[in-house]
Amino acid sequence: MTPMIDMLGGWIYLTLFALVFMETGLVVFAFLPGESLIFFASTLAAITGSTLDIRILIPVFFFAALIGDTVNFEIGRNLHRLPLFRRLISAEKLAKAQRFFDKHGGKTVVFGRFIPLIRTFIPLISGSAKMNYKRFSIYNLLGVLLWVTSGSSLGYFFGQIDYVQEHFSLIFIGLAALTAVPGLIMFLYRFMKDRATPNY
């Protein structure tokens, strides 16, 4: 990230905004590492000092995620207009989703934000399940606030540790590799399951 920061200068904040917005607002970009991005950018803010400012990073991440979720929710609210959606999702399944979000929507929106991949789909499903917009907005605001402040605070604290400052590149590579482990395990599990399933 450091060469990218040096190259972009002040435009780095717009780039980070766009990446977090895309991960939270557009389901096709659910693979983007929003959580890791917040953590490592905040860590770099502690290490570099003047290059990245944590006081700017936090509102950038906050509004990117908040606006992204709102756009995603609106897309979900209008999915029923697509013929393909009506073919894939039966009225019975939609009614079941609506009952679930009426009962557990608030908790799902808040805590689902901390689960990679899942967090991108929750606003979309909330909208398609006709969750009350005001209720969604309140819980989404809370979820985004907790997500951004916890990730930024942990990253900034992490970056103030002397050992981290001295070996940041190695630690960055190690943590990046660790974040790929769950996805790799899931891929291997599905691969083995498919091989074990007999073909008739």
Q: What is the pLDDT of residue 60?
A: 96
pLDDT tens, position by position, 15-42: 999 999 999 988 888 878 888 889 888 8
Quickly tell me which residue has 């007999």 as its tokens: 198
Question: DSSP code of 17?
Answer: H
Task: Check residue 88 and give its pLDDT.
Answer: 58
Of residues 80 and 176, more confidence is placed in: 80
What does the pLDDT read at residue 98? 72
Flag whether pLDDT at 89 surpasses 70: no
* Between 142 and 77, the higher pLDDT residue: 142
Question: What pLDDT shows up at residue 90?
Answer: 60
pLDDT at position 162 is 77
Least-confidence region, from 59-63, 98-102, 126-130: 98-102
CA distance 24 to 12: 18
Using a CB cutoff of 8 Å and minimum separation of 24, what contacts does 7-16 make?
12/52, 13/56, 13/57, 13/60, 16/41, 16/57, 16/60, 16/61, 16/64
What would the pLDDT profile of 164-196 be if each residue is shown by its tens digit?
667 666 666 666 666 556 556 766 766 676 666
Cα 60 to Cα 121: distance, rounded to the nearest angstrom: 21
Maximum average pLDDT range among 92-96, 124-128, 160-164, 175-179 = 124-128
Please give the model's pTM, rounded to 2 decimal places: 0.78
Percent of the chain with pLDDT over 70: 70
SS3 140: helix
